[in-house]
Structure 1
Amino acid sequence: MDHAITPEAANHVLFHYGRGGYQAGSFTTHLLCAFATADEQNFFRLSEAFPEYGAAVAAIQYDPKGVTNLTIIAQGEVAA
């Protein structure tokens, strides 16, 4: 799923979870709040509309290497 994550999305998600990055605008901040509180069905729906954010939120919430991978992507590199 990492292929869908843009450096911008990685930075926004890292910031939202207090792990670096930089703050998003108000719409994206609210979107990240929606992702963070969504049940599985609504998370899927949001991910269909915003795949880069869905992949990034899933990475930081469920992948033990998610923060590392998002940091690499945020810096413009390719995550392993």
Structure 2
Amino acid sequence: MTSQNVEITAENAAHVLFQERLGGWPPSTFGAKLLDLWTSADTTNAEQLARAFPGHAAAIALVKSGQPGIERLRAIADGSSDRFVTGGSAAPSVDLSEWANNLATDGLEPSANVLNIDGDDKPIVRLHMAFDPDMPERARQGFGLALAQVMADGI
């Protein structure tokens, strides 16, 4: 898994802040429709949007990371902060190296499947999954069903 720097332009930052009613300034018609689309996208489509618009994806991730991310995004919008984040990370100050090393050591591969549990206005839990590459799809589905049952039973 490689890591790259993603630039969040002042416009990306301001437009995402505006979309979330946190300041910023309004985007163009296209930008507004793009951000509206993003809010209704499922995980697969959101990942496709992130590949096409990495600056927007990184800005959205910063907003979702909470108050420190929002403050950083405001600083990017007003030109007083570095505009680059590593890999579009939601919280660039969080060290994910141990997590990545554990995945590599265990031979697990991250899955595109992500489970989000939403609170009032943002996700309160996000579960990313990684599986052994030789694990059959049927076993992965069984895991998902078992997890769903645990959640339905009220963790």
TM range (shorter): 0.7 to 0.9
Alpha-carbon RMSD: 1.8
Q: How far 1:4 sits from its partner (Å)? A: 2.0
Q: How many residues align?
A: 79
2:17 aligned with 1:52, yes or no?
no
Q: Deviations over 1:41-74 (max 9, x none)?
A: 111100111111111112112x122211100100
- Which consecutive residues of structure 1, in runs of 5 or more, have no partner in the other structure? none
Q: 1:1-80 maps to which residues of 2 (within 5 A)?
A: 3-61=6-64, 63-64=65-66, 65-79=68-82
As a proportion of its length, which structure holds more strand? Answer: 2
As a proportion of its length, which structure holds more helix? Answer: 1
TM-score, normalised to structure 2, is: 0.47
Question: Is the 8 Å Cα contact of residues 36 and 57 (structure 1) preserved in structure 2?
Answer: no
Find the structure with the greater CA-based Rg: 2
- Which consecutive residues of structure 2, in runs of 5 or more, have no partner in the other structure? 83-92, 94-155
Q: Deviations over 1:9-62 (max 9, x none)?
A: 00000011101000001100000011112111111100111111111112112x
TM-score, normalised to structure 1, is: 0.87
* Higher RCO (Cα < 8 Å, 6 or more apart): 1
* Displaced runs of 4 or more, over 4 A: none
Paired with 2:5 and 2:25, the residues of 1 have a C-alpha distance of 19
